[in-house]
Structure 1
Amino acid sequence: MNQDRVPRAWQAVCPLDEIVPNTGVCALVDGEQVAVFHVNDGHAHAAVYAIENFDPGSQAAVLSRGLIGSLGERVVVASPIYKHHFDLRTGECLETPAYSVSAFDTRVENGQVWVAV
């Protein structure tokens, strides 16, 4: 989660099984487009991440449609337009740190994905 964002509340997004593993979806969270990703390593270890959906490099709301992968120990999404890589844990843009986006805390409870707002 971005250090200057303190969660006020949690918002339900959708059931986890409605997000295809290793893809993302766009959700409206507290009036803001958020890219929510379901990352599964193939061994029943699932994680959920959420970052802003807006890609500052392309000026388009497209990050939820990016390709998930890893660079070293980092789990990232590659923007579908200019292929900038965003760390799903922190929102940091690896190629251009000035393009970094906010990251949000997530949790899965009773099969439901929740995002901190």
Structure 2
Amino acid sequence: MNALDYFNARLEATISPMDYLRLTQIDPDKYFLLDVRNGPLHVRSLKIKDANVIPEQELQARLSEIPKDKEIIVYCWDVWCNTAAKVAKFLLERGYMVKELTGGIAAWKEMNFPVSDSTQEVNMSDNCGC
């Protein structure tokens, strides 16, 4: 793979927090933001505002909650976390349109973009699967 192919593939598979925020302001119904972080509730207490929370270890059982007619944007902790990449691969293999949010929630918070308290979610599980 040459550099051009690499960067084309990277841009096809990822979206920056700035681009996601801008694109959802233009067409908010096009996207389904998915928080796939594993871990106990106290470390997942914040989520990106309006994100849907389905931890990676619950994904297979809750697949019906993810719409096939929207572009799925997955995120996890940070650039060092590959959980979102694993989930993206899983969903792509099942026919979903998927991109990974670059930098995860860490990049989102660094930009001071909107977050909300995820502990208010009814479906939140404290079983981290770790």
> Does the alignment reach a TM-score above 0.5?
no
Q: Higher strand fraction: Structure 1 or Structure 2?
A: 1
Structure-1-length-normalised TM-score: 0.36
Higher RCO, 1 or 2 (CA under 8 Å, sep at least 6)? 2
Structure-2-length-normalised TM-score: 0.33
Choose 1 or 2 for highest CA Rg.
Answer: 2
